[in-house]
Structure formats: C-alpha cells, structure tokens
Chain A
C-alpha cells in the first residue's frame, strides 16, 4: 500500500514536472501573445492538479489534503479569469493575433 502510494506520487509529480517544462518551453517558443496564453493556461490547470494530487497522496487523510485540494480549487477558479482579463485587455489595446487563416470568421461560418 505504502509502495503503491509512493509510486503514484512519483508518476504524478514527474508528469506534472514534465508538463511544467513544456509550459515554460511553450512560453519561449510560441509566436505571439495569444498563443502564449494557452501555454500559461496549461500550467494553471493540469500541471497544478497533477502536482498537488501527487503531494496529497503522501499526506493521507488530514487537513493537509484539504488544503491541497483547496489550492487546486482556487487556482482553477482564478486562472481562467486572469487569462480572460489578459486576453481581453490586450485585444482592447489593439494587439492583433497572428492567424494562420485556417478558420477565420469570414471564410468559415461558425456552427450555432
């Protein structure tokens, strides 16, 4: 049982670390602001979830677990709001996104 929990922690933390590294890499590599927001959003969601769930496997049933879950909840609620505020502010400021023209609103109608 102890071993299974340890292995679970290893797997989850390693996966989370890998996702975080990809996120940092994406922040450098992606071409413009709007695409970089997606990379930032990845750290906000799955990476946080994986790392904190991995940690909570080690703490057992205690108040520490509750706090870990609460941090996940806070990050999940505040993350998208901050992303939206950022995207909206830069859009209002007139920053144009680089598009590949695959499905711009003109040449491909959305399905309502």
Chain B
C-alpha cells in the first residue's frame, strides 16, 4: 500500500520535472530536469522492486545512479567544449 503511494508520488514528481524540461528556457534547465528525473528513476526502481516483492531490482538502481551521473557529466562536457575528446580542465587558465 505505502509502496504504491510512494510510487505515485515519485511519478507525479517526475511529471513535474518533465514539465520543466518542456518549458525550460535554457538547455541547462533541461539538463537539470534530466538529472532530477534520473535521480527519481533510481528511487522509483527501488520502490517498484519492493512493490513487486523482488528486491533484486536494486542492482539496477545501483547501476542507474552511476549511469545517470556519467550521462549528465558527458552532456555537460559536450555542451561546454563541443566535443567529448580531451581533458576536463579549463582551456584558458589552469592554476
């Protein structure tokens, strides 16, 4: 019962983030929403695992939390440098 309530709350929250992704004036707003949706998906996978009585789903949540992080960083890096090649250090000053 409580799992269903939590899952619905997470879904509503994802929907709200999705609205921000559609509205978002800048692309950074959209990346922020994507990141937030990713975090909420991790929560959703965990809760769904308990809802269906199969806590093995947590392995997926574990991996998803890391993939979400790498994905956000990759998109941001691509935005900043226009390429995924090379190091992350600032081109101008590297003190």
Contact = CB atoms under 8 A, between A and B. Distances in A.
Q: How large is the interface on B (under 10, 10 to 19, 20 to 34, 35 or more residues)?
A: 35 or more
A28 interface: yes
B76 A20 contact: no
Contacts, number: 132
Interface size class of A (residues with CB under 8 A): 35 or more
B62 A44 contact: no
Contacts of A52: 43, 46
A96 to B, nearest CB: 11
B90 to A, nearest CB: 8
Interface of B: 2-3, 5-6, 9-10, 12-17, 19-20, 23, 26, 28-29, 31-33, 35-36, 39-40, 42-43, 46-47, 50, 55, 58-59, 61-62, 65-66, 68-69, 72-73, 76, 79-80
